[in-house]
Chain A
Amino acid sequence: MRRNFWLAMVTASMIAVSIAIFGVFLLLSVNVGQVMQNIAGNVEIAVFLEDRADTNSVLSAIKGLSGVAEYTFVSREQGLLDFGQTLGEKDLFLVLAGENNPLPNMFRVRTLDATLVPAMADALRKVRGVEAVDYGEDLVAQLLNMTRWLNSMFLAISLFLGLGAMLLIVTIIRLSVMARQEEIGVMKYLGASNWYIRLPFILEGATMGLLGSLIATLSLGAVYFRLTSNLQNGVLPFLFRPVTEVAALWPIFAFLLLLGFFLGIIGSLLSVRKYLREVRRTA
């Protein structure tokens, strides 16, 4: 280990880079997930009532459904005002007030979870007195799709990077194994057990892995919190706030640390394997 100090340092920093990139993807994934959840969680189901519907019976039907987070009743008059307001002119539709109002009474319903929306919409359609239900089907479906797609992409890239880091460790520990090939040969002739021979290399790998991932998590953590605290104070709307809760983040950093550690161990096991293989009849 002492002799290969700089080589070990290079390995550790390469591991650090791989793990850091992996960490960036993990954090991105978590944040994308959060944004998606925010957006999807804000999807409202608009429940339009028939002209002569009994508002109270529809209300009790909505209360009876499970998964409803909140609901509000919007009368046709209120609806007209809201509509005007969204177009920037509160009094725009005043002429349509009263008997001429084309809008129906409606409920806005929010679900506890975005994935519940389609089923909920179906259930609401069946309620007596409901004329139509609308929730932006396409938007929700697209968001869910996109999240799924992004996650599998992150997973694929992460696997790829992990494999790269592992190959790196294997290569570099193999160098150090090769540098000590003579010693390993002598050990074998002196009747050393395979674990006795392996142990120093495993320690070396584990140290490099842990050191690398420690550097990676520390710098990643520093950068991330710096970045998010800037964003938090800033202009981003609620929907795009980054994840900053420690409870959500510490598993990621712990995972990265463990990952480096185990990559180091597995890498060194793979590197020595060739030199410890027992003879076979045909060998």
Chain B
Amino acid sequence: MIEFVEVTKQYPGSKVPALNNVSLQIQRGEFVFLVGSSGAGKSTMLRLLFREYLPSSGNILFLGRDSAKMRPRELLKHRRRIGMVFQDFRLLKQKTVFENVAFALEVVGRSPQEIRLEVPIALAEVGLLDRAKAFPGELSGGEQQRVGIARAIVRKPTIILADEPTGNVDPENAWQLMELFTQINRTGTTVIIATHASDVVDRLRKRVIALEKGRIVRDEKRGVYGYES
């Protein structure tokens, strides 16, 4: 479903490329960990997948379609197939849990009826239905991230991209979050997670792509974190 062909990404003003000649394929329904130290190129890879950036050279194909050739409407469609989860949650503080999740549907023009129907389903899936009226500030980090996940899945995306989703969460909650991601993956959603959580990676034994200085140094079907942490 996703293919990187000799992708290099160089940010303006930096001498070393963030990604250097990376080629890989990810199939529909896969669960992938991107690991590597900070600055290895994990976030860049996610941003390229969201097509927030274009590669400096090489091609990224989604279902055979070159990301650089997407027209605005197509790009919007592409992004709407993706659910994003962030390390800092990116919830809107002045909106309730329900409203934050509903926002994902509002911005793509879904009807109020649909919103009333879909939001509780997503909240139930992450186990926060009873906190629907709370504001993000009243929730723990783990709970906030679960709202973030609910917001990402409420549109039933084909791909979930998560950048350090457990980075601001204590270990126990981190486990619960990863549990959630595997559950989501079981329904057929492709999940790609950039992470430093070595114990989680080691326990789950999913595909692990290790990056170092913008290159893939390891790509194992049932891999481990493989770094000192």
Chains A and B belong together in one complex: yes
Interface residues of A (CB under 8 A from B): 182-183, 185-187, 189-193, 196, 278-283
B76 & A193 in contact (Cβ 8 Å cutoff):
yes
- Is B68 part of the contact surface with A, judged by Cβ < 8 Å? yes
- Complex Cα distance A153/B72, Å? 45
With A186-B90, A191-B76 already in contact, the answer to whether A281 and B107 are too (CB < 8 A) is no
A191 & B56 in contact (Cβ 8 Å cutoff):
no
With A281-B54, A283-B12, A283-B53 already in contact, the answer to whether A187 and B107 are too (CB < 8 A) is yes
- In the bound complex, residues from chain A placing their C-beta under 8 Å from that of B51 are 279
Closest to B85 in A: A189
User: How many pairs of residues, A versus B, come closer than 8 Å at their CB atoms?
Assistant: 47
- In the bound complex, residues from chain A placing their C-beta under 8 Å from that of B52 are 279
In the A-B complex, the 7 residue pairs with the smallest Cβ-Cβ separation, listed nearest first, are A192-B107, A191-B80, A191-B79, A281-B54, A189-B84, A190-B104, A190-B107
- In the bound complex, residues from chain B placing their C-beta under 8 Å from that of A189 are 50, 79, 84, 86, 90
With A182-B92, A189-B84, A191-B76 already in contact, the answer to whether A282 and B12 are too (CB < 8 A) is yes
- In the bound complex, residues from chain B placing their C-beta under 8 Å from that of A191 are 76, 79-80, 82, 107-108
With A183-B92, A186-B92, A282-B12 already in contact, the answer to whether A192 and B54 are too (CB < 8 A) is no
Closest to B77 in A: A191
A185 & B90 in contact (Cβ 8 Å cutoff):
yes
Closest to B68 in A: A281
- Complex Cα distance A281/B54, Å? 5
- Complex Cα distance A117/B147, Å? 82
CB under 8 Å from chain A, chain B span 48-95 = 50-56, 68, 72, 75-76, 79-80, 82, 84, 86, 90, 92
CB under 8 Å from chain A, chain B span 102-119 = 103-104, 107-109
- In the bound complex, residues from chain B placing their C-beta under 8 Å from that of A190 are 84, 103-104, 107-108, 151
- Complex Cα distance A192/B76, Å? 8
Closest to A183 in B: B92
B103 & A279 in contact (Cβ 8 Å cutoff):
no
- Complex Cα distance A278/B55, Å? 14
Pick 15 A–B contacts, CB within 8 A, sort by A. Answer: A182-B92, A183-B92, A186-B90, A186-B92, A187-B103, A190-B151, A191-B76, A191-B79, A191-B107, A192-B108, A193-B76, A279-B54, A280-B54, A282-B12, A283-B12
- Complex Cα distance A279/B107, Å? 20
